[in-house]
A and B are shown apart, each in its own frame.
Chain A
Amino acid sequence: MFGFLLRKLPAVILVAFVSSIIAFTLPRLAPGDPAITVAGSDATQEQLEAVREELGLNQPMPVQYIHWLTGALQSDFGQSYVMRRPVSTVIADRLESTLELAGLATIIMIVVGLGLGVLAGTERTPWGRAVLDVATTILLATPPFLTGLILILIFGIAFQLLPVSGEVNLSKDPVMGFKFLILPAIALALPQSAMIARLLQTTMNSTRGEDFVDLAKAKGVPRGRIVRKHVLRNSLGPAIVAIGLRIGDLLAGAIIIEAIFARNGLGALAIYAVQSRDYYVLQALILGAVIVAVLIQLLSEILIAALDPRIRLEG
Chain B
Amino acid sequence: MPNPKLFSVTRRRLLTGSAQAAVMIGAMHYVPALAQDTSRAVIAQAYDAQPRNLLAFRGGNFPWIKNVFETLTYTDPETFEPQPELATDWTLSDDGMTLTLNLRDDVTFHTGRKMTAADVKYSLETAALPETASQIGFIARSFKAIDTPSDTQVVITFSQPTSNVWDLFEETPIIDKETYAEREDGSKVIGTGPYKFVSWTPGAELQLSRYDGYRDKDAAKIHDLDYAIIADPTATIAAVRSGRAQIGYGMTPRDVIEFDRNPMYTIVSTAGTIYPFGVNVEEGPFDQKTVRQAVGYAIDRQRIIDQVFDGAGTPTDLFWSPSSPGYTEEQANRYSYDPEKASKMLEDAGAKGAKVTIVIPAIPANRSIFEIVQNNLREVGLEPEARVLDVAEYDQRQVAGDLGQSFILIHGQVGFQTATLLSSLPSLRKGNPSHFWSDEYETLRNAVSAASTADDQAKAVTALSEYMLDEAFTLALLQAPSPSVVSADLEGVSFSRRGYILFKNATYR
Interface residues on A, range: 35 or more
Asked if A40 is an interface residue, CB under 8 A from chain B, the answer is yes
CA distance A195 to B368 in the complex (A): 37
| B395 with A32: CB separation less than 8 A | yes
State whether A162 and B30 are in contact (beta carbons under 8 Å apart), knowing that A41-B395, A268-B231, A275-B392 are contacts in the complex.
Answer: yes
| B231 with A82: CB separation less than 8 A | no
Of B109-117, B240-248, B296-304, the one with at least 4 CB within 8 A of chain A: B240-248
With a CB–CB cut-off of 8 A, which chain A residues contact B395?
32, 36, 41
CB distance from B31 to the nearest CB of A (A): 7
Asked if B438 is an interface residue, CB under 8 A from chain A, the answer is no
Asked if B431 is an interface residue, CB under 8 A from chain A, the answer is yes
| A260 with B228: CB separation less than 8 A | no
Query: Residues 123-143 of chain A: 1 if any B CB is under 8 Å from the residue's CB, otherwise 0?
Result: 111111001100000000000
State whether A85 and B133 are in contact (beta carbons under 8 Å apart), knowing that A32-B396, A33-B392, A124-B2 are contacts in the complex.
Answer: no
Of A48-56, A232-240, A292-300, A303-311, the one with at least 4 CB within 8 A of chain B: A48-56
Chain B interface residue count, Cβ-Cβ cutoff 8 angstroms: 73
| A264 with B229: CB separation less than 8 A | yes
| B30 with A161: CB separation less than 8 A | yes
Asked if B94 is an interface residue, CB under 8 A from chain A, the answer is no
State whether A128 and B7 are in contact (beta carbons under 8 Å apart), knowing that A45-B399, A277-B392 are contacts in the complex.
Answer: yes
User: Majority SS of interface residues in chain B?
Assistant: loop
With a CB–CB cut-off of 8 A, which chain A residues contact B26?
161
Query: Residues 68-82 of chain A: 1 if any B CB is under 8 Å from the residue's CB, otherwise 0?
Result: 000000000000101
CB distance from B225 to the nearest CB of A (A): 15
| A163 with B30: CB separation less than 8 A | yes
| A38 with B53: CB separation less than 8 A | yes
| A30 with B390: CB separation less than 8 A | yes
Asked if A157 is an interface residue, CB under 8 A from chain B, the answer is yes
Interface pairs (10), CB distance under 8 Å: A40-B133, A42-B57, A47-B131, A83-B185, A83-B202, A125-B2, A125-B4, A125-B8, A126-B2, A128-B7
- Report A's interface with B, CB cutoff 8 A: 30-33, 36-51, 53-54, 80, 82-85, 90, 93-94, 119, 122-128, 131-132, 149, 152, 155-157, 160-166, 179, 182, 223, 259-262, 264, 268-269, 271-272, 275-277
- Report B's interface with A, CB cutoff 8 A: 1-4, 6-9, 25-26, 28-32, 44, 48, 50-53, 56-58, 129-133, 135, 137, 184-186, 201-205, 228-232, 234-236, 238-239, 241-245, 389-396, 398-401, 411, 413, 424-426, 429, 431
Closest 4 CB pairs of A and B: A32-B392, A31-B393, A264-B204, A83-B202
Other than the given A166-B228, A179-B28, A182-B28, 17 more pairs (CB < 8 A) read A31-B393, A32-B393, A40-B57, A41-B394, A44-B431, A46-B130, A47-B131, A83-B185, A84-B184, A84-B185, A152-B238, A156-B241, A157-B238, A160-B243, A164-B238, A165-B235, A277-B392
